[in-house]
Structure 1
Amino acid sequence: MWGTMLGKCDSRCQRMEKVCKELRTSGGDLMESVRLDELDRLVIGALLAHPRATHATIGQAVRSSEATVSRRIARLRRTGAVRVVGALDSQISHRARSVFVRLRCAPGAADELALPLAQWDETGSVKVLTGSVDCVAEVAYTSNEHLYALMMHRLPQFDGVMATFSNQVIRRFSTPHGWNPGLLPDTVVAELRAERRDRWSERPEPDEPAPMSELDERIVAALIDDGRMSWQELAARCGVTPSTARRRTEALMAGGVLRMRTVVEPEVLGLLVNAFVWLTISPTKIGIAGEILARHRSVVMIAATTGDRNLCGEIAVASDSALYEFLSETVGHLPGLIHADVAVALRTVKRAGMIAADLRSSGS
C-alpha cells in the first residue's frame, strides 16, 4: 500500500510546476500581487493566533510599531491575501452538520462542476484535486432530508459525476480556527491565544444548542462580513451601544458559538502543496491518531468521520519532499493505520464560504 501511495510523489514536481503556473496566470494571482516579506509573514502568524488582536498587541508580538502593523494589515486585507471572518459554529449552535463530499468525475468535468458547486449556499469550501477523486467539498446540511435532497437530487444534476463518496463529520480534532503553521515562536503564539475571547481549540459539542437572541444573530452576521470590525462599528451596525455589542459578542465567543478565523491560502505562505488525506484507522485508535495529527503544523484541519474513511483532513506543506516526509514519518506511523489516500489540490474554488476572487465574475 505504502509503496503505491508514496510512489505517486515522483511525478508531483511536474504537476506542481503546472499548478504554480496556473496560480500565476489566474486572475488576481495572489502570489504575484502580494509579495510578502518577513514582517508580513509574522503579522499573518499573529493574526492566525489571534484574529482580533489589536495593532498594538500584534506590534509587540512581531517587534514592530503599531502604525507599521496597521499599514501591513490594511494592505494584506486590501489585496485579498488575508481575510478575518467570524463564523457561527454550526455544531455548537446545532444549526447544521458537516459532510465531506468527494466526487470522481469524467475527464475534464471537475473544473466545470466545481464553480456551480461552490455557488451552493451549503458549501463552505470546494477544491479541484488530482488523485483518486477529482473534487472535494465541505457541505453543511440541516437535516437528513436536506442531505438527501443534496445528494440524491441536486448533485446528480451535474454532468460528468461518475461517483460520489460522503463522510459525515462526527468529531473535530482541529480546524482552521486554530491553525498554526509555525510563522511565530510557540511561546508568542501561546501568549496571543491566551488573549482570545473565542475558542480556537476543539471540544465535543454540547447536548443542548446554545440559545441566541435577535441581537446575537445581528452580531454574528456583521462579524461574518468583517471579523476585525471595531466595537463602535459593530454597535452602529447592530443598533446598540459599544459596551453592549462587546458584552454580547464576548458571551457568544465564550460559549463557543461565535469563532474567529484568519483566512489565508497556504500558497501565500509558501506552502505550495495543499493536499487532502482520507484515512482508515482502527476504531479503537481514531482518537489517538486524530490528536497526533491535530498537533502537527502541517495539518490545517482533521476530523473523525463516518463512511468509507474515518479520519479526514487537509494539510499544507512547502514541497513534494515535505509531503513525502509527512506521509512516511507522520501518517505512516499513526497507531491503527489501515489505509491512506492522498489527493493534491490543484485549485481552491471556495474557502471559508467565499469563492476565489478570479472566479466570481465567471459564475454570474
Structure 2
Amino acid sequence: MTSLKVDDLDRLVIAALLAHPRATHATIGQAVRSSEATVSRRLMRLRRAGAVRVVGALDSQISHRARSVFVRLRCAPGAADELALPLAQWNETGSVKVLTGSVDCVAEIAYTSNEHLYALMMHRLPQFDGVMATFSNQVIRRFSTPHGWNPGLLPEDAVAGLRADRRDRWSERREPDEAAPMTELDEQIVGELIGDGRMSWQELAARCGVTPSTARRRTEALMTRGVLRMRTVVEPEVLGLTVNAFVWLTINPTKIGLAGEILARHRNVVMIAATTGDRNLCGEIAVASDSALYEFLSETVGHLPGLIHADVAVALRTVKRAGMIAPELLTAVGQP
C-alpha cells in the first residue's frame, strides 16, 4: 500500500464497505452522512492507493471445492521473513503473516484432498530452509469470517441497514451435505468477480458475453445460494487497529460452540474457527493498542466458557491477505 493519510471519514467509508462490499456510493453516503460525490472521491483514492479492495470469493464449503488448514511455523532465527514470501507464492495460500510469539509464521492453506494436503505438508513445506517445527489445525467449522467483520466504527443501525441490502451471505452457517452445482457461466462470473468485486453489471456482462440483466441475475443467484461471497479487504491498521494478532485456544470440547459464538460477536475478532489439532479454536483479532490487547485477553478470552489454554502471537507483517501478496512485496517476486 502506498503512503496515504486516512481520516475519520475514510474509515467510516471503509466500515460501510465492510458491511456491504457492493453498496452504491449513494448508499454509503447515507450510512456515513456524506454526499455521494464525496464518497466516490474518497473510495477512488483509497482503492487507487491500495488501502482497500473488494473481491469476490467462491465459498469452499458450499461448493465443496476445498478445505482449509492453518499452518504455524516455528523457524530458525531470521528464517521466517525469508520463507514467508515464497510460501505466499503458493496458489494454495490465502494468507501469510510473519509473527512474534511462540511461532514465527502462520498461513491459511486450501487443499482439495488428503493427498493434496499430504504433498503440501510432507514434501513441499519441508523444502523450505529454517523450518524447525510445524503445527497444523484443520478448519472444521467457521463461526465468523472477514466477510462479515464489523469493527464497530458505524452505529449498529447503519450496519444493519447496509447488511440488509446485501445479496450475498455475510454470516456463517454449517456446511451442506451436497455441493452446490455451477454452470460454465457461473464459473466465469465468479472468476471475474474474484479480481474485482465491485465490477459493474455492464462490464461483467461484456466479459462474460451475456446481457447485463443476465449477468446480474446469475450473480445474485450465486450470492443467494451462498456460493459467491463478497469481501472488503483492508489491513486493520488502516482503521486505526494497529495491533493485529492471532489466538489459538484450547477449549473444553463441550464449550467450543459457545465460546466460538461469543468471539464471533466481538468487534475485535476478524475471524474465528473451530479446528482440529493441538488447539481447537483459532482466530485473528485486531485491536487499537497493546493495552486493548491486554483488555481483550483478560476480559474476553479469560472469561470464555471452558477455556483451558490460550496462546497469542502478534503479526509483524502481512505478506498475503485474501489471496493477494502485499503490493509493496510484489516487486520482490517479479510481479508488476
- Scaled by the length of structure 2, the TM-score of the pair is 0.99
Query: In 1, are the aligned partners of 2:264 and 2:271 still within 8 Å (CA)?
Result: yes
Counterpart secondary structure, 1:34: coil
2:275 matches 1:305: yes
Match of 1:274 in 2: 244
1:71 Cα offset (Å): 0.9
TM alignment of 1:1-364, pairs within 5 A: 28=1, 30=2, 33-364=3-334
1:190 and 1:100 map into 2 onto residues whose CA distance is: 31
Query: In 1, are the aligned partners of 2:71 and 2:106 still within 8 Å (CA)?
Result: yes
1:124 Cα offset (Å): 0.1
Matched residues, number: 334
The aligned amino acid for 2:96 is: V
2:317 and 2:25 map into 1 onto residues whose CA distance is: 32
The aligned amino acid for 2:48 is: R
1:97 Cα offset (Å): 0.1
1:277 Cα offset (Å): 0.2
2:107 and 2:120 map into 1 onto residues whose CA distance is: 12
1:338 Cα offset (Å): 0.3
Determine what percentage of the aligned residue pairs are the same residue: 89
1:68 Cα offset (Å): 1.1
The aligned amino acid for 1:362 is: A
Deviation sequence 1:266-314 (CA, Å, 0-9, x none) = 0111111000000000000000000000000000000000000000000
Deviation sequence 1:152-194 (CA, Å, 0-9, x none) = 0000000000000000000000000000001100110000000
Counterpart secondary structure, 1:91: helix
2:4 and 2:12 map into 1 onto residues whose CA distance is: 15
Counterpart secondary structure, 1:331: helix
- Scaled by the length of structure 1, the TM-score of the pair is 0.91
Deviation sequence 1:1-23 (CA, Å, 0-9, x none) = xxxxxxxxxxxxxxxxxxxxxxx
Match of 1:7 in 2: none
2:270 and 2:306 map into 1 onto residues whose CA distance is: 22
Deviation sequence 1:101-128 (CA, Å, 0-9, x none) = 0000000000000000000000000000
Counterpart secondary structure, 2:61: coil
2:238 and 2:34 map into 1 onto residues whose CA distance is: 21
| Consecutive unaligned residues in structure 1, runs of 5 or more | 1-27
1:165 and 1:179 map into 2 onto residues whose CA distance is: 26
The aligned amino acid for 1:158 is: F
1:276 and 1:42 map into 2 onto residues whose CA distance is: 25
Give the aligned CA root-mean-square deviation in angstroms.
0.6
1:122 and 1:144 map into 2 onto residues whose CA distance is: 14
1:334 and 1:68 map into 2 onto residues whose CA distance is: 43
The aligned amino acid for 2:88 is: A
Deviation sequence 1:47-69 (CA, Å, 0-9, x none) = 00000001111111111111111
The aligned amino acid for 1:356 is: A
The aligned amino acid for 1:231 is: W
| Consecutive unaligned residues in structure 2, runs of 5 or more | none
1:91 Cα offset (Å): 1.1
Query: In 1, are the aligned partners of 2:11 and 2:238 still within 8 Å (CA)?
Result: no
1:236 and 1:167 map into 2 onto residues whose CA distance is: 42
| Comparing 68-77 and 118-127, the one that deviates more | 68-77
The aligned amino acid for 1:52 is: R
